Structure 1
């Protein structure tokens, strides 16, 4: 299982988190977010994939950010359509991953995923809330027992150290969990990550 640390904001903190070698580091390009990023990214280890997080953004602006920050993945956290994802996919280099986010509640209809199967590389399941993301709460992961696909997915939404045992239990099932996505529960303040807590998370993940 891979690890994505999302909502990075401060270059020095990026370097600190970079020493832990998470698989992905996320940068939020949605201006209404407390973790909105519009700065510079220092040189990070090559193994860390930089993810741009977008909410109902234009393809032109997404492509601009990919070039400006040398992003390796795009996370679509809004109401992007299948057609939008397909158009984006045709304009991206094949090496750039597309992660399509779905906000999950107890009544989530997994049939909504089928049209997106061929236009993204991964799904990401986050907790449905007032904001597109960063609500800091988990959803009932038992809902995932209804997951009908083999496409690997990121598990997100309020994951902290207290949730890691439950995460490891999910990994014992046949669900294709590709990565966990952590953010607010590993912060000192919005955008500033607690590297000691992240190290504990990695230790538990690898145990």
Structure 2
């Protein structure tokens, strides 16, 4: 599908409570993310997942975020969350991404950490097997979390990219800076977690509503055009 035909999507990730989930759904989020990674303050225990995800009731796509999961964990998470998309946020290789897709029959979003242009060398290999790509800020060496650290990266590094897959932007986004980000780069969606929190893992309904509204306005006013795409069209 050509990028101009794709629908811009807003994802609220790291949801653990009914209040946060209802705020995301009421605000019109397209995707809601549930993290199963015990080191994360946004970790959702599998025992708590079914009652929470049942509230989605088809109003948004459900995304299950995992970090280097083995097949047994994938089976357990799929049974508890019934996700529409699996988000892989670890060191999964392109071969592992392809294997997970084939084995479990679900679309896969692969997160790629970005700090320098060299980090994008792997993009073609992942784009060949993943259904969508998420660009996130690269964590510091030894960091406990692969994402959700509230840090932006140099968005210009991902400007002008088109790999015939939906591309999403993450990493330190807030209602205040998402207009700047979408004014600089052309993306098919944005993903936020820490940027809509009052404390790590504690979502703010007000910040969720503000972020979704700001992202929608920014996507509309920018017409999803980054400077490089405008230059190519002129």
Deviates more, 1:192-201 or 1:99-108: 192-201
Give CA deviations for 1:74-113 in whole Å, capped at 9, x if unaligned: 11011101221111111223xx320001100024332211
State which of 118, 128, 148 in structure 2 corresponds to 1:108: 118
Give, in whole Å, the separation in 2 of the partners of 1:111 and 1:185.
28
Please list every run of 5 or more consecutive structure 1 residues that lacks an aligned counterpart in the other structure. none
Give CA deviations for 1:28-52 in whole Å, capped at 9, x if unaligned: 1111111111123142141311111
Give CA deviations for 1:146-202 in whole Å, capped at 9, x if unaligned: 63623221100000022122133135xxx3x12100111211233332122222222
Give, in whole Å, the separation in 2 of the partners of 1:146 and 1:18.
31
Residue 62 of structure 1 pairs with residue 62 of structure 2: no
| Aligned equivalent of 1:3 | 10
Give, in whole Å, the separation in 2 of the partners of 1:170 and 1:47.
30
Runs of 4+ in 1 over 6 A off after TM superposition: none
Deviates more, 1:154-163 or 1:115-124: 115-124
Please list every run of 5 or more consecutive structure 2 residues that lacks an aligned counterpart in the other structure. 1-7, 218-234
Give, in whole Å, the separation in 2 of the partners of 1:98 and 1:111.
20
Alignment of 1:40-79 (within 5 A): 40=49, 41=52, 42-79=54-91
Deviates more, 1:192-201 or 1:143-152: 143-152
CA-based RMSD of the aligned residues comes to 1.8
Aligned length: 201
